[in-house]
Amino acid sequence: MALQVGDIIPHFVAKDSNGNDFDSNDYVGKQSLVIYFYPKDDTPGCTTQACTFRDQYEDFKEVGAEVIGISSDSVQSHLKFQSKFNLPFILLSDNDKKIRKAFGVSKDYFGLIDGRTTYVVGANGVVQLIFDSTSAKDHIKNALEILKK
């Protein structure tokens, strides 16, 4: 069952691009989160989305939010992607797609490609916005608008 606005995000643990353990409990209760699921590292739409988050990362930090990108790519793939585009935020490897399933992120393009969905989560862990769109740039604008309110 997919998360809805008003739900509390599920607890999750994953490896970041440096191979370190990331635990969502280290963030929930302390700051807002923008968690975005994307299909694949270093593809045109995903690169546009990641670079737009990068370019506006300070705007997210100013409103007290951390940005977290999640895909099924490997830790090594994330490290290359992060280095190539100088991405300052957290990338997590969900290679078994357990986090994607826990959030209820659907597939795009007739079920062929992992979906692109962004969740804005308050410091209390409650989902404030779910934005599901193939348009990569709209995710950033909509997430920032909610966080500024």
Which residues are catalytic, by number? 46
Three-state DSSP class for 146? helix
CA distances from 143 to 16, 117, 149 (A): 22, 11, 10
Structure tokens that stand for 136 in this block: 């990569």
Angle between helical axes of 44-55 and 75-85 (0-180°, round to 10)? 60
| 134: DSSP letter | S
- Residue found by looking up tokens 């992607």 in the block: 81
